[in-house]
Amino acid sequence: MLGEAMIALGKEMGNRVILALVFADNSRSNGLFARLGFSLSGHFPGAVLFPGDNEQPRDVGIWHLRL
C-alpha cells in the first residue's frame, strides 16, 4: 500500500522523486525497521541500499530510492 502510493506520487511528479529513508532500530523490535527497509526498497528498481544486498539487516540503515 505504501509502495503503491509512493510510485503513484513519483509518476505525478515526472518520476523525479528522490526519497531517503533512514531507519533507526532498537533491540526490542528485533530489526523490524531494517527488514522493512529492505522489503520496501525491493519494489523500486532504482534503489540503492546501504547496507548491501548480501549483508544482514542492521539496526541503522539508509535507503536511497530514486523513482
Domain ranges of the chain: 2-66
Give the distance from CA 36 to its chain's centroid.
Answer: 7
Model-level pTM?
0.28
Give the pLDDT confidence of 25-59 residue by residue, as tens digits. 544 555 565 566 666 666 655 555 555 555 555 44
DSSP-assigned states of every residue in 43-57: T-TT-EEES-TTSPP
5: DSSP letter: H
